[in-house]
């Protein structure tokens, strides 16, 4: 069937008004493509021309008739009684959409839009389809599956200053004019559930009046309220109705003001009970604080039980006598969690009759890592479980509210774990101001809608998603835009831009900062280049989904990393610090300009949306934010330069009183034939330095301003590039040498730097070359440590590879996500790595090595608070607690959680004795949630140089 502007949309008069409204939106989609607006015609069954029939089984007689007429009765049987299912049948000149219920038909209608190449974001942020005369829809019949998760939605939160200013400016408030767009977005993404903004807004009063709630109900959106807003009333509401003479009393306190609070809830249920809701039950203190402070656990549990009993009674009286028909939700959040579990003296609310049928909502740690999940025993709870996840957060240890910094592999790993642990009844995600979070939000809702389909490679998902957003792009451009966004999310996934400090990525060690700077610069350039290919009318969509999030976050990366360079060079009084200072300032100015641009793009449709503060937080709240300072240094009076081996923060100025001897062992790695010494000048006018080395197998060049920091190439940051000729080396008897840099300070003192170069082949490499036990991926020691990326194991059992996961190459995780294994279980899954240690090194150090396991900062799965694995070194098993179960806690001012989160890693170190030559290390999970990204092996008593990503991978046999 071919859709043109003359297509007619047909339903009968009984059809839900909300469904007809959605049909109208699909007609608008046709117009967006063809420039002609089709009609929605009630009951115009006959007549010529292409038609789209739509009908809701539980509401519209047309549904049965269409099934009978079109031979879809078998299909009708498949959706009958199911939630949110639809039949989508395409014939030569008609399309028949039959929904099992209101949202079934709506999803069917929007399925048509998708088939027409219309993005679910079309209305929300102007991601427009390509213009065409007509769209061909392939013939065939589809029956949709019941969604994997029952309630699937998002939470508009932390809405000041961005969303609040946006909607005030563009819509005049948090009203139905605005919410209609949000509902449409939700439904197009096949969500069904929404928590509205509630910092200052009152959903059921701001419509104006009930208009928001009525519109939601009409359009088939199930409303919830956040975890601390029971009985369909927003937290802010009480503030307006309380008072000395109020019928609601003047205290948000069920103990002191039982009657007032009960009345307040009752009136909420009377007002909103007629709509589709998931009613929040339970109670917290005002403004998201603990309900009753300075009371015993038992007192609190009893109070909460009393609250629940009262609320259940009110719901029976005012909503439905059959509580099983009323979706209810209790959040096990913050202090409510211990009330649920109780302790050994006091029984908690688990298995309490008042909670029967109530969905228990669990949550992540606000930073994307699940907290406790249901044990096997708990999974049978009637009412099931929900998950409150965060793509945006306002709180400790840092807030992230600006642009999308979420990385799909992490979201997939965590939400699939949630699903496997039986959390299938309710998924809600905090998306802050929504804008720029649409990409991860789409994935979240897709996964919730069809878990089996979307629990798969997220890069492929990204490719498909961006193809769907930008149909006017060529295949190459689509690949490019997906690569760009995915990579920028990878980078922000290492450390969210809000948590980024100037020294997060080390300015020198392992070239970390250089590596991220070059990627960020390239991403910005490529995004700017792509934008040029975007048609003018499509710019707003591209801006919101690609340009703003990529260029915005990558500019912050540059700003902070340039600031780190600025500080490091300033500490050494190197003049190049001043060039970096200028660069920091440029980034600050660009950041402001970008925020201003966002106010204007698409005729101001995103006005205010980029106003959240987004870096330099001195505190978790935006009050403490500031741009990085940029610091200038004064040239030294005397000639001076600072020298260091590229990638290692060990400097010398070569002056008297300082250590002037360096060591370069890079050439021991058989794949390395080039290494650099860097030098930065501290005085104006440079220095006359003489570099010399008499080994015939070494040559070197001195390169000015390799990083092209200045137009004239005179940044004062120079590179001595040392090249190794392996042929000459092989012929030489002496395989060590000294490179000398000499000069003077022009004030009577000499400058002298000596670099000892060791290019001897590692002994161990010779040994293992003839060892048949040595296989592909065996790491060979060539320097004082070995670094292994998790995917480079030699053997594994029951382990999945998570490509791209985490901070570096990827991760591995046991396939059986939910299982706990005994430490001595030989059949437990394992992943094994091989490494060979140099005999000299082992003799010198004694061979006791530290194994730094780089783990995702997961939280323990259960209340026992255990996160354990076994490290098996050469067959010896060491049981390791990745967290101290006695002390570990998630929450404000809790450490080490509070540092693991911005670090986005938990380094768990195991010490074991190793021998010269081949060794093996196996990781065996004990508890769930062990996700391994990297292992760094080094001398037990010699800590590794500071770095955020850990040392880059060292030499391995290919």
- Classify the phi-psi angles of 84: left when phi > 0, otherwise alpha if psi is within -120 to 50, otherwise beta: left
Report the distance separating Cα 875 and Cα 872, nearest Å: 5
Show the tokens assigned to 134: 């007509």
Q: How far is the CB of 651 from its own copies (least distance, A)?
A: 10
If one asks whether residue 655 binds its own copies (CB under 8 A), the answer comes out as yes
Pick between residue 346 and residue 625 the one whose CB is nearest to its own copies. Answer: 625
Q: Which helix (H) or strand (E) holds 812?
A: strand 810-814
Distance CA 346, CA 301 (A): 9
Size of the site for its own copies (CB under 8 A): 43
Q: Which of 658, 692, 699, 899 binds its own copies (CB under 8 A)?
A: 658
CB of 626 to its own copies, least distance (A): 4
| Among 299, 537, 656, 825, contact with its own copies (rule: CB under 8 A) | 656
* Least distance between its own copies and beta carbon 164 (Å): 6
Helix (H) / strand (E) containing 718: strand 717-724
Q: What are phi and psi of 526, to 5 degrees?
A: -65, -35
- Is 469 in a helix, a strand, or coil? helix
- The site string for its own copies over 146-185 (x = CB under 8 A, - otherwise) reads --------------xx--xx--x-----------------
Stretch that binds its own copies, among 46-54, 83-91, 617-625, 669-677 (CB under 8 A): 617-625
Torsion of CA 242, 247, 251, 255, to 10 degrees: -160
462-467, Cβ contacts within 8 angstroms, sequence gap of 24 or more: 462/408, 462/486, 465/439
**In the complex, what is the shortest distance from the CB of residue 572 to its own copies, in angstroms, rounded to a whole number?**
8
When asked if residue 748 is in the footprint of its own copies (CB under 8 A), the reply is: yes
Binding status of residue 239 toward its own copies by CB under 8 A: no
157: tokens are 């939160």
Q: Tokens for 812, please give them.
A: 């591995």
Site for its own copies in 570-599 (CB under 8 A): 570-573, 577, 581, 585, 588-589, 592, 595
Site for its own copies in 539-568 (CB under 8 A): none
Q: In whole angstroms, how close is the CB of 741 to its own copies at the nearest point? A: 15
Question: Which token pair is 218?
Answer: 């009409």
Q: Using alpha carbons, select from 475, 542, 604, 690 the residue that is nearest to residue 170.
A: 604
Angle, helices 475-494 vs 552-571, to 10°: value is 50
Q: 458-497: which residues touch its own copies (CB under 8 A)?
A: none
Q: Which is nearer to its own copies, 622 or 872 (CB)?
A: 622
Closer CB to its own copies, 43 or 656, in the complex: 656
Which one among 611, 833, 851, 854 touches its own copies, defined by CB under 8 A? 611
Least separation in angstroms between residue 638's CB and its own copies is 8
Answer whether 86's CB lies under 8 Å from 79's CB: yes
Contacts with its own copies in 618-647 (CB under 8 A)? 618-619, 621-624, 626-627, 629-634, 636-638
Q: In this complex, which beta carbon is closest to its own copies, that of residue 287 or of residue 702?
A: 287
Query: In angstroms, rounded to a whole number, what is the distance separating the alpha carbons of residues 417 and 929?
Result: 8
| Separation of alpha carbons 176 and 131, rounded Å | 30
Residue 526 as a binder of its own copies (CB under 8 A): the answer is: no
Distances (CA, A) of 739 to 669, 677, 744: 19, 10, 17
DSSP 56-90: ETTT-THHHHHHHHHT-HHHHHHHTT-SS-EEEEE
* 344 vs 747, beta carbon nearer its own copies: 747
What's the CA gap between 696 and 733, in Å, rounded? 11
Closer by beta carbon to its own copies, 228 or else 572: 572
Please, what is the minimum distance in Å from the beta carbon of residue 161 to its own copies? 5
Alpha carbon distance 516, 522 (integer Å): 10
- If binding is defined by CB under 8 A, does position 600 make contact with its own copies? no
Query: Min. distance of Cβ 286 from its own copies in angstroms?
Result: 15
Cβ nearer to its own copies, comparing 635 with 891: 635
User: Which residue in the set 345, 708, 747, 766 belongs to the binding site for its own copies (CB under 8 A)?
Assistant: 747
Which residue's CB is nearer to its own copies, number 571 or number 795? 571
Cβ distance 575 to 633 under 8 Å? yes
Question: Closest CB to its own copies among 255 and 620?
Answer: 620
Of the candidates 548, 561, 430, the residue with the CA atom closest to the CA atom of residue 494: 561
Q: Which is nearer to its own copies, 580 or 948 (CB)?
A: 580
Q: How far apart are CA 101 and CA 85, in angstroms?
A: 7
What is the smallest separation between the CB atom of 166 and its own copies, expressed in angstroms?
A: 10
Q: Nearer to its own copies by C-beta: 525 or 634?
A: 634
Vertex 722: Cα angle to 718 and 725 (nearest 5): 160
Closest by Cα among 467, 394, 381, 391 to 421: 381
Of 60 and 653, the one with the shorter C-beta distance to its own copies is 653
**Smallest gap from residue 624 Cβ to its own copies (A):** 8
Decide whether 238 or 611 has the Cβ nearer to its own copies: 611
Q: How far is the CB of 563 from its own copies (least distance, A)?
A: 10
Integer-rounded Cα radius of gyration of the chain: 31
- Tell me if 222 sits within 8 A of 193, measured CB to CB: yes
**Number of Cβ atoms within 10 Å of the Cβ of 659:** 10
Among 211, 350, 749, 768, binds its own copies (CB under 8 A): 749
Half-sphere exposure of 52 (CA within 13 A, CB side): 29
599 vs 758 by CB, closer to its own copies: 599
User: CB of 581: closest distance to its own copies in angstroms?
Assistant: 7
For residue 616, the minimal CB distance to its own copies (Å) is 8
**Contacting positions for its own copies (CB under 8 A):** 160-161, 164-165, 168, 570-573, 577, 581, 585, 588-589, 592, 595, 611, 618-619, 621-624, 626-627, 629-634, 636-638, 653, 655-658, 682, 747-749
């Amino acid at each position: 069937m071919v859709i043109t502007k003359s297509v007619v949309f047909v339903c009968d008069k009984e059809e839900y008004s909300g469904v007809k409204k959605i049909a109208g939106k699909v007609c608008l989609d046709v117009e967006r493509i063809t420039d002609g607006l089709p009609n929605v015609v009630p009951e115009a069954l006959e007549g010529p021309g292409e038609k789209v029939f739509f009908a809701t089984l539980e509401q519209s007689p047309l549904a049965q008739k269409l099934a009978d007429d079109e031979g879809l009765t078998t299909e009708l049987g498949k959706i009958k009684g199911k939630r949110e299912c639809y039949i989508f049948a395409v014939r030569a000149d008609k399309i028949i959409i039959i929904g099992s219920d209101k949202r079934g038909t709506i999803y069917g209608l929007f399925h048509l839009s998708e088939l027409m190449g219309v993005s679910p974001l079309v209305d929300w942020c102007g991601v427009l389809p390509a213009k065409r005369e007509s769209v061909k829809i392939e013939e065939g019949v589809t029956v949709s599956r019941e969604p994997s998760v029952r309630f699937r939605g998002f939470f508009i939160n932390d809405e000041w200053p961005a969303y609040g200013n946006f909607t005030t400016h563009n819509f005049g408030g948090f009203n139905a004019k605005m919410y209609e767009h949000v509902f449409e977005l939700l439904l197009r993404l096949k969500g069904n559930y929404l928590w509205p903004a509630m910092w200052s807004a009152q959903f059921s009063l701001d419509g104006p009046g009930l208009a928001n709630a009525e519109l939601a109900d009409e359009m088939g959106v199930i409303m919830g309220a956040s975890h601390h807003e029971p009985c369909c009333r927003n937290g802010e509401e009480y503030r307006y109705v309380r008072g000395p003479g109020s019928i609601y009393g003047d205290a948000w306190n069920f103990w002191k003001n039982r009657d007032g609070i009960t009345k307040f809830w009752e009136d909420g249920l009377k007002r909103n009970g007629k709509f589709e809701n998931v009613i929040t039950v339970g109670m917290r203190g005002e403004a998201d604080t603990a309900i009753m402070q300075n009371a015993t656990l038992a007192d609190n549990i009893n109070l909460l039980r009393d609250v629940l009993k009262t609320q259940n009674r009110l719901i029976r009286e005012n909503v439905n006598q059959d509580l099983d028909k009323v979706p209810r939700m209790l959040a096990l959040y913050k202090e409510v969690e211990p009330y649920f579990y109780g302790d050994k003296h006091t029984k908690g609310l688990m298995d309490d009759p008042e909670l029967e049928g109530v969905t228990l909502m669990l949550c992540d740690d606000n930073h994307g890592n699940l907290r406790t999940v249901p044990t096997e025993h708990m999974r049978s709870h009637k009412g099931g479980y929900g998950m409150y996840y965060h793509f945006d957060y306002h709180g400790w240890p840092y807030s992230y509210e600006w642009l999308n910094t979420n990385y799909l592999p992490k979201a997939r790993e965590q939400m699939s774990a949630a699903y496997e642990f039986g959390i299938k009844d309710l998924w809600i995600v905090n998306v802050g101001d929504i804008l720029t979070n649409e990409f991860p939000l789409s994935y979240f809702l897709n996964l919730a809608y069809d878990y089996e389909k979307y629990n798969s490679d997220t890069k492929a998902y990204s490719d498909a998603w961006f193809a769907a957003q930008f149909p006017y792009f060529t295949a190459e451009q689509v690949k490019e835009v997906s690569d760009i966004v995915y990579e920028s999310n990878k980078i922000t996934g290492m450390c969210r831009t809000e948590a980024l400090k100037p020294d997060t990525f080390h300015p020198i060690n392992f070239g970390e900062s250089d590596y991220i700077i070059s990627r960020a610069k390239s991403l910005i350039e490529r995004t700017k280049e792509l934008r040029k290919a975007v048609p003018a009318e499509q710019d707003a969509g591209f801006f919101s989904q690609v340009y703003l999030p990529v260029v915005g976050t990558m500019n912050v990366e540059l700003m902070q990393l340039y600031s780190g360079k600025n500080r490091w060079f300033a500490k050494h009084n190197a003049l190049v610090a001043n060039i970096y200072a200028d660069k920091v300032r440029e980034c600050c100015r660009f950041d402001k300009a970008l925020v201003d641009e966002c106010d204007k793009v698409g005729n101001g449709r995103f006005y205010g949306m980029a106003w959240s503060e987004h870096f330099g937080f001195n505190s978790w709240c935006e009050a403490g934010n500031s741009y990085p300072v940029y610091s200038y240094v004064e040239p030294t009076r005397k000639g001076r330069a600072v020298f260091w081996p590229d990638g290692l923060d060990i400097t010398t100025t070569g002056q008297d009183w300082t250590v002037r001897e360096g060591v370069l062992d890079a050439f021991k790695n058989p794949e390395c034939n080039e290494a650099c010494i860097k030098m930065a000048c501290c005085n104006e006018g440079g220095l006359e330095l003489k570099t010399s080395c008499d080994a015939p197998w070494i040559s070197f060049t001195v390169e000015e301003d390799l990083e092209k920091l200045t137009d004239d190439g005179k940044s004062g940051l120079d590179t001595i590039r040392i090249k190794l000729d392996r042929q000459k080396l092989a012929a030489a008897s002496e395989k060590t040498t000294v490179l000398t840099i000499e000069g003077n300070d022009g004030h009577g003192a000499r400058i002298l730097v000596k670099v000892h170069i060791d290019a001897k082949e590692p002994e161990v490499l010779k040994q293992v070359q003839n060892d048949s036990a040595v296989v592909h991926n065996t790491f060979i020691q060539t320097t004082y440590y070995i670094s292994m990326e998790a995917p480079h194991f030699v053997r594994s059992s029951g382990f999945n590879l998570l490509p791209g996961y985490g901070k570096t190459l990827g991760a591995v995780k046991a396939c059986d996500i939910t299982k706990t294994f005994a430490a001595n279980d030989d059949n437990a899954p394992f992943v094994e790595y091989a490494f060979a240690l140099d005999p000299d090194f082992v003799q010198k150090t004694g061979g006791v090595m530290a194994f730094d396991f780089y783990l995702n900062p997961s939280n323990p799965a259960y209340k026992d608070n255990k996160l354990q694995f076994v490290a098996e070194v050469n067959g010896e098993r060491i049981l390791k607690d990745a967290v101290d179960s006695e002390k570990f806690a998630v929450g404000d001012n809790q450490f080490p959680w509070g540092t693991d989160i911005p670090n986005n890693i938990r380094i768990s170190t195991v010490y074991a004795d190793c021998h010269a030559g081949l060794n093996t290390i196996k990781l065996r999970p004990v508890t769930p949630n062990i996700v391994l990204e990297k292992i760094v092996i080094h001398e037990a008593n010699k800590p590794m140089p500071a770095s955020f990503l850990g040392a880059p991978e060292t030499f391995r046999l290919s």
